[in-house]
Amino acid sequence: EKGKHLVKVTGESGSGKSQLIEKLRQALPAFYEVLLVRDQGDSVIAILQEVAAGLEIADCSEVSQAELLSRIKTVLDAKKQTGRRVVLLVDDVEKMYPAAMEGMIRTLTNAYGPENGEEMLQIILFGTKEMDGKMVATTIEYFEDETNCQLHLEPLNIKDTADYLRFCLQLASGGGGGYSTALFPYETIRKIHALSHGNIAAINRLAEKALRNAHAAGASEVFAKFL
């Protein structure tokens, strides 16, 4: 909303980055168009080809990087004229080669400089803290100088863990009735939180294990002993 052309989201594996990506893809206002790059390749042109594919630009496999960039810019210009905003989500950034990361950021942000104070393309980088070690000085400086452009996904506290489990159970039950939310007594929730350290992926694994064990035992509630 603030028009930051470069945003960074970090979190350990299982902290909810993938869930946040899906939420952004599904829940942003209709005038946003969201592109997702997961297989970044090992070069800038490979990333640009992924962007072009997301924009449904045909016949880009054999063109030069400059020509590919020009075609992308043309499409983005046209979208901007119709009031659409394009957001590029780049997942697992810590797996990229440093040169590819720098080239992607430098190429896209330089090519699409601000017009009337707005960028034609926003980039959101998702990864672990390891991505910071692969950033060049100018990129690090951007994040140090700009405000509201980075987010670190913290582990869930025990209240959030309880809310998350109950929400998942409500989804699983189709939203019908409140009985499903009582399947996990507080003692079970507290143990899940302690064992998972608030990590969402670990919470999912522990809850599934406890549910299966409770079902096998014919229990009416998922007690802590089933973990």
DSSP 8-63: EEE--TTSSHHHHHHHHHHHS-TTEEEEEES--TTSHHHHHHHHHHHTT--S-TTS
pLDDT of 118 strictly over 80: no
* pLDDT at position 158 over 90: yes
With cut-offs at 50, 70 and 90, classify the pLDDT of residue 116.
Answer: very low
Helices 186-196 & 200-217 angle (0-180, nearest 10): 140
Q: For 46-52, what is the mean pLDDT?
A: 91
Of the segments 76-80, 84-88, 170-174, 195-199, which one has the largest average pLDDT value?
195-199
Q: What is the mean pLDDT of the chain?
A: 88
What average pLDDT does range 44-48 have in this prediction?
90
Q: What residue has token string 């594919």?
A: 53
**Structure confidence at residue 175 as a pLDDT band (50, 70, 90):** low
> Residues 15-19: what's their mean pLDDT?
92
The confidence score (pLDDT) of residue 8 equals 94
- What's the pLDDT score for residue 111? 46
Q: Which range, of 31-40, 51-60, 77-86, 110-119, averages the lowest pLDDT?
A: 110-119
**Taking the alpha carbons of 76, 77, 78, 83 in that order, is the dihedral positive or negative?**
positive
HSE toward the beta carbon, residue 80, CA cutoff 13 A: 16
Model confidence pLDDT, tens digit, residues 186-218 = 999 999 999 999 999 999 999 999 999 999 999
Quick check: helix, strand or coil at residue 198?
coil
The average pLDDT across 7-22 equals: 93
182 vs 93: CA distance, rounded Å: 39
Q: Is the pTM of this model over 0.85?
A: no
Classify the phi-psi angles of 16: left when phi > 0, otherwise alpha if psi is within -120 to 50, otherwise beta.
left
Q: Check residue 154 and report its DSSP letter.
A: P
Token look-up 């054999």 returns 62
- The percentage of the chain sitting over the pLDDT mark of 70, rounded to a whole number, equals 91
